[in-house]
């Protein structure tokens, strides 16, 4: 089923929307949640919460890129669940990924201005599209999907040192790019 048809089902409040979303994007959501939570039970709960989140968000929203919207809802819920589960103990791969990225995108506390958030999002998006396809894919796999370095190496056939070096240099370029754009880090 096409994304626009699924979105129409949500607008019609038809429960079939959830089934169709699960058929089309359930695997993606489970993958994202599993990479962050590392627990099948918590991941499945997160995916179920994703369906509820979509049900509550559509309407009023009508996402233009449904796959990205679904992935973002799943990712945000998994990160919230991760924070809840690991409030006292921090060690999994996702924390490592966030700490690496935190070196160049600090996420200042108290920044809740929607316009500024959109400006930052647009700048990061423009930066990512300026990268070559391979660098962009590695960066997104690491910091959006929370893939481990080892998993990225298996997917690409590259050594760990090459992937780590690529990520390091890309983070540095992102930091420089954001500073040139006047985004305070």
Instruction: Tell me the torsion sign for CA atoms 110, 50, 102, 125.
Output: negative
pLDDT-based confidence at residue 85 (cuts at 50, 70, 90): confident
Reply yes or no: is the peptide bond before residue 56 cis, omega within 30 of 0: no
Quote the tokens at residue 52.
């509820």
Quote the tokens at residue 98.
């966030």
Question: How far, in Å, CA of 99 to CA of 88, rounded?
Answer: 16
Decide: 177 and 108 in contact? Cβ < 8 Å. no
pLDDT digits (tens, 9 = 90+) for 32-55: 999 999 899 999 999 999 999 999
Tokens 């910091």 map to which residue? 143
Instruction: Tell me the torsion sign for CA atoms 133, 30, 99, 63.
Output: positive
pLDDT digits (tens, 9 = 90+) for 97-147: 666 666 665 555 544 566 777 888 889 999 999 999 999 999 999 998 889
What's the helix, strand, coil split of the chain in %, to 5? 75, 0, 25
Helix (H, G, I), strand (E, B) or coil at 82: helix
Decide: 34 and 50 in contact? Cβ < 8 Å. no
Mean pLDDT score of the chain, rounded to an integer? 87
Question: How far, in Å, CA of 107 to CA of 5, rounded?
Answer: 36
Average confidence (pLDDT) over 75-104: 72
pLDDT-based confidence at residue 86 (cuts at 50, 70, 90): confident
Based on DSSP, count helices (H) and strands (E) in the chain, helices before strands. 9, 0
pLDDT of residue 118: 80
Q: What are phi and psi of 89, to 5 degrees?
A: -130, 125
pLDDT of residue 157: 95
Q: Which residues contact 130 (CB under 8 A, 6 or more apart)?
A: 177
Quote the tokens at residue 124.
């990061």
Judge whether residue 91 has pLDDT over 70.
no
For the chain, percent of residues with pLDDT exceeding 70: 85
Judge whether residue 64 has pLDDT over 50.
yes
Judge whether residue 175 has pLDDT over 80.
yes
Q: Which residues contact 86 (CB under 8 A, 6 or more apart)?
A: 92, 95
pLDDT digits (tens, 9 = 90+) for 160-173: 999 999 999 999 99
pLDDT of residue 111: 42
Judge whether residue 25 has pLDDT over 80.
yes
Decide: 105 and 174 in contact? Cβ < 8 Å. yes
């Amino acid at each position: 089923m096409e994304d626009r048809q699924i979105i129409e089902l949500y607008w019609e409040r038809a429960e079939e929307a959830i089934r169709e979303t699960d058929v089309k994007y359930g695997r993606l959501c489970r993958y994202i949640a599993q990479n962050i939570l590392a627990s099948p039970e918590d991941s499945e709960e997160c995916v179920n919460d994703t369906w509820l989140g979509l049900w509550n968000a559509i309407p009023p929203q009508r996402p233009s890129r449904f796959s990205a919207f679904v992935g973002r809802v799943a990712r945000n819920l998994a990160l919230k669940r991760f924070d809840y589960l690991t409030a006292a103990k921090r060690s999994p791969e996702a924390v490592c990924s966030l700490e690496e990225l935190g070196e160049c995108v600090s996420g200042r506390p108290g920044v809740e201005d929607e316009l500024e958030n959109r400006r930052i999002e647009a700048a990061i998006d423009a930066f990512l599209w300026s990268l070559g396809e391979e660098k962009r894919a590695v960066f997104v796999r690491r910091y959006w999907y929370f893939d481990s370095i080892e998993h990225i190496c298996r997917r690409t056939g590259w050594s760990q040192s090459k992937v780590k070096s690529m990520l390091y240099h890309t983070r540095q370029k992102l930091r420089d790019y954001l500073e040139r754009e006047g985004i305070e880090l």
